[in-house]
Amino acid sequence: MSPEIILEFEGGHLRPLKPEDVHPGYVSGLNDPEVNRYLDGVKHTRQTTKSVLDFVAANEASDNAVLWGIWQTSSAQHCGTVRIHGIEHYHRTAHIGICLFDKSAWGKKLGSRAVGTVTRWALDTLNLRWIEAGAYSENIASQKTFLAAGYEWVYDIPDKYILEGIPTRVKVYAARNSGA
């Protein structure tokens, strides 16, 4: 699913990524251990231009996912992504995740603005009623991002994932569309 749309927010904009948007900073950012510490699939395999191009193309062709690029105002290249995926049309639910792979974008509230913007789009345009995000309990920045974007903590899953060799708790947040 790749809608032809640009979503603007304070400090930047989003649009669905296309393969031609893949740039060396995207690939190297995904391979940075500080960036990918909490990214399950990414950190276990070294990312290449081909693997990232394949991921972007698969999301572009998917009927149940949208991979949004995050651009800062007046920047030629995107600095991160927000992915809404696992879109389930009958139950009207989905999952969401974010990655700011350009560390110069950290601490500017771009993440919460981007997540909030994509969430509003998905609730309104796709008429979803529940969007779920998971965050390792150690990932305070991600938890703050989802809370600032209007998500609420709904439950914890103890020992779900392994982080640095140790089972860890995942905190689950949700945005709900009360009118849907």
Closest CA to 98 of 157, 29, 152: 29
**Does residue 144 form part of some domain?**
no
For 96, other C-beta atoms within 10 Å of its C-beta total: 25
Region of 26 on the Ramachandran plot (φ > 0 left; ψ -120 to 50 alpha; else beta): alpha
Closest CA to 79 of 10, 12, 20: 12
pLDDT score recorded for residue 4: 84
Quote the CA–CA distance of 156 and 21 in Å, as a whole number.
Answer: 36
Q: Which amino acid is at 57?
A: A
**Does residue 161 form part of some domain?**
no
pLDDT score recorded for residue 74: 83
pLDDT score recorded for residue 44: 82
CATH number at residue 60: 3.40.630.30
**Does residue 140 form part of some domain?**
no
Q: For each successive 10 residues of the chain (180 residues), what is the average pLDDT? A: 85 96 97 92 88 96 96 94 96 97 94 98 96 96 97 96 92 88
Query: Any bridge partners for residue 12, and if so which?
Result: 9, 72
Region of 59 on the Ramachandran plot (φ > 0 left; ψ -120 to 50 alpha; else beta): alpha
Say which residue the tokens 């990414």 belong to.
Answer: 42
Quote the CA–CA distance of 144 and 58 in Å, as a whole number.
Answer: 29
**How many domains does the chain contain in total?**
1
pLDDT score recorded for residue 178: 76
pLDDT score recorded for residue 41: 78
**Does residue 20 form part of some domain?**
yes
Quote the CA–CA distance of 130 and 62 in Å, as a whole number.
Answer: 20
**Does residue 121 form part of some domain?**
yes
**Does residue 59 form part of some domain?**
yes
**Does residue 180 form part of some domain?**
no
pLDDT score recorded for residue 153: 98
